[in-house]
A and B are shown apart, each in its own frame.
Chain A
Amino acid sequence: MLSNNQESTRKAEINLRLAQFEFPPMQDVLLIGKRAPIGPEAARKMSDALSPDQYEIISLEHELFEAAVVRRALLKILPPEKLFPVILEEGTRIASENTVIKIQVNATIQVNKVVDL
């Protein structure tokens, strides 16, 4: 039985974590799962609003992913036929149909030329 003179207190503890908003939020590539909470049309609207003309939506015929949002500048360095086998292979290892995967791609072009002296 509770004593009448027992005091009860209610307190709230507030924790803040501040970080800079990553802009644009999708980095280089977004792989959109077939049952993910956002679909290609939503991704297109988002990229058009946040970074107009910088991203391209590519529909995929894949077991897990239905589309990819790719930074256009990246496609100038790596054509889709070279880029997609790599990102899909890695994406498949960690993703499911329900997920959206954000991928950062660092591509370095190495050029060696021999010139006559």
Chain B
Amino acid sequence: MITIGDIMIKDVVTISPAASVARAAELMEKFKVGGLPVIDGDKIIGIITSRDIRRAHQNRLVADAMTRKVVTAPPETSLWEAKELIEEHGVERLLVAKDGKLLGIVTKSLIYIESGKHIDPLTGLPRSEFLRHIALKLLQEGNEISVIFIDLDNFGTIDKEIGHESGDQVLKQVAKIFKDMVIEGSDYLCRYAGDEFALITTRPLEEAKKLCFRLLRSLTNHPWPNGTRLTASAGVAGGRRGHPRPGSKCCTVHELINLASLGSTQAKKENTPVVVVGQVEIAKDTTCTS
């Protein structure tokens, strides 16, 4: 999973609280940055931004012009968590720090550019990276989750029959159909890979299974162009944080998604639309995806 530690700017220009606002403006101009973390000793005490500078007298001390509310995050913070933090606090910069010590900085634009790389441009859906982030987050919040993994049947053949351009339009339409059927805030859809879609939901396993059947039916019932008949196979797996039962395997989020994926493969083999793999326990200390 991509973290802010991977993308942060490490050579951060900082300033002392005793410096003048004029000096801060000079540094910002020189290094072409919009904000300077204010460091007292080795402690982060604020940030002075170009906005603060516009509002303050040039003679003032940085300590008297800076924004004291600083949003910091450890380097292990995922890209998605960082995006949420920036949006939640309405800030332009996130300071990356560990044990109160500044390690780097990530800007809103950098986070948006990086997270944009994880959005599929064809369907507008997030890619698999997002799925893992959401699964971890929901589990950490104490939710029970279910994973639905949908694999379109014979899409390679369809692609060859109708052409790749038309095939792309079909994928786009599949995404739209699914998007219209899921509930924002409890169902999280992504384009996992080529003709594979995955969904994390807080619905219980039985409800997730019902949703899965509805999603597949909607594909079959849709009037596809050129008389194309589109079907899909799916696997459903449920996970919750807890202690694995004796004899049962302890899973990670990665393995949970994998189980659902294997379920879809099994469904294809058995020529049945949906295979429910079952519910697995995700041990509290093994929710890491790596």
Contact = CB atoms under 8 A, between A and B. Distances in A.
B69 to A, nearest CB: 15
Contacts of A38: 57, 59-61, 64
A37 B22 CA distance: 11
A36 B56 CA distance: 8
A26 to B, nearest CB: 16
Contacts of B189: none
A75 to B, nearest CB: 22
Contact of B59 (A37, A40, A41, A45): A37
Interface in B171-219: none
A39 interface: yes
15 contacts: A35-B57, A37-B57, A38-B57, A38-B59, A38-B64, A39-B61, A39-B65, A40-B64, A41-B63, A42-B60, A42-B61, A42-B63, A42-B64, A45-B18, A45-B61
**Closest 6 CB pairs between A and B?**
A39-B64, A41-B63, A37-B59, A37-B57, A41-B64, A42-B61
B56 A35 contact: yes
Contact residue range for chain A? 10 to 19
A98 interface: yes
Given A41-B61, A42-B61, A45-B61, 15 more contacts: A35-B55, A35-B56, A35-B57, A37-B57, A37-B59, A37-B60, A38-B57, A38-B59, A38-B60, A39-B56, A39-B61, A39-B63, A41-B17, A41-B63, A42-B63
A41 B38 CA distance: 14
A80 B51 CA distance: 33
Dominant SS at the B interface?
Answer: loop
Given A41-B63, A41-B64, A36 B17 contact: no
Interface of A: 35-42, 45, 98
A36 B61 contact: no
Residue from B18, B60, B64 with most neighbouring chain A CB atoms (10 Å) = B64
Contacts of A42: 60-61, 63-64
Contacts of B56: 35, 39
A68 B111 CA distance: 40
A64 to B, nearest CB: 14
Contacts of B57: 35-38, 98
Contacts of A98: 57
Nearest to B17: A41
A65 to B, nearest CB: 13
A76 B194 CA distance: 76
A35 B59 CA distance: 10
A42 B57 CA distance: 12
Contacts of A39: 56, 60-61, 63-65
Residue from B17, B57, B63 with most neighbouring chain A CB atoms (10 Å) = B57
A44 to B, nearest CB: 9
Contacts of A37: 57, 59-60
Nearest to B21: A39
Interface in B1-47: 17-18
